[in-house]
Amino acid sequence: MAWIVLAVFLGVILIAILYGIGIYNHLVSLRERYKNAFSQIEVQLKRRYDLIPNLVETVKGYMAHEKDTLEAVINARNQAVSGLKQAAGDPSDPAAMQALAGAEQGLTGALGRLFALSEAYPDLKANQNMMQLTEEITTTENKVSFARQAYNDTATSYNIYRQGFPAVLLAGMFGHAQNAELLQFDSKAIAEAPKVSF
């Protein structure tokens, strides 16, 4: 009789350990998914940041007296690059994600001003490089939007599972004490691709 009780007790312990391992593995899997989803945002934002100097160079010859606007675009790009590096280091850091969102909002605003000013320059509007760059930036903006949505979806799945019972009892012990931070934009303008027409 004692052996049966001991066998049942050991069986329950073994099932609990296996269940804990399953929870741990699922938490790790979900965390890696949201980190991978953030890396997709990172790829698209880097592409966007790489296009901006080419855009500024194309515009520079036509808009020589619009130096302040061009400098604002470059400064906003540099702040966004810095914000992305910080957020990529730890996508669960709320301050880093807010800094990235703010930097992206500033960059979108600076680009919007640049595109608005470019409307006053017919030769620039007809320039093949300018048309190609604006098309690439618009396409990249759409890709950023899709990547951001995919990241937020995976981060939400991780957060829901991490906060659910019984994972919530074990998450902290397994190194999953912090939620994945969602990438939210304060302005509706940054959430949408800029409208560029030539």
DSSP letters, 154-181, are: HHHHHHHHHHSTTHHHHHTTTT--SPPP
Q: Which long-range contacts (CB under 8 A, 24 or more apart) does 78-84 make?
A: 79/103, 79/106, 79/107, 80/45, 80/49, 80/104, 80/106, 80/107, 81/49, 84/42, 84/45, 84/46, 84/49
Mean predicted confidence (pLDDT) in 138-159: 91
Distance in angstroms (rounded) separating the CA atoms of residues 87 and 83: 6
- 58, 130 in Cβ contact below 8 A? yes
- 182, 91 in Cβ contact below 8 A? no
Mean predicted confidence (pLDDT) in 78-107: 91
- Domains contained in the chain, CATH given: 2-191 (1.20.1440.20)
Q: CA nearest 141: which of 38, 45, 40, 43?
A: 45
Using omega within 30 degrees of 0 as the cis cutoff, is the peptide bond preceding 91 cis?
no
For the stretch 156-194, pLDDT in tens is: 999 999 988 988 888 888 888 788 888 876 544 444 444
For the stretch 40-72, pLDDT in tens is: 999 999 999 999 998 888 888 777 777 888 889
What percentage of the chain carries pLDDT values higher than 90? 44
- pTM score, two decimals? 0.74
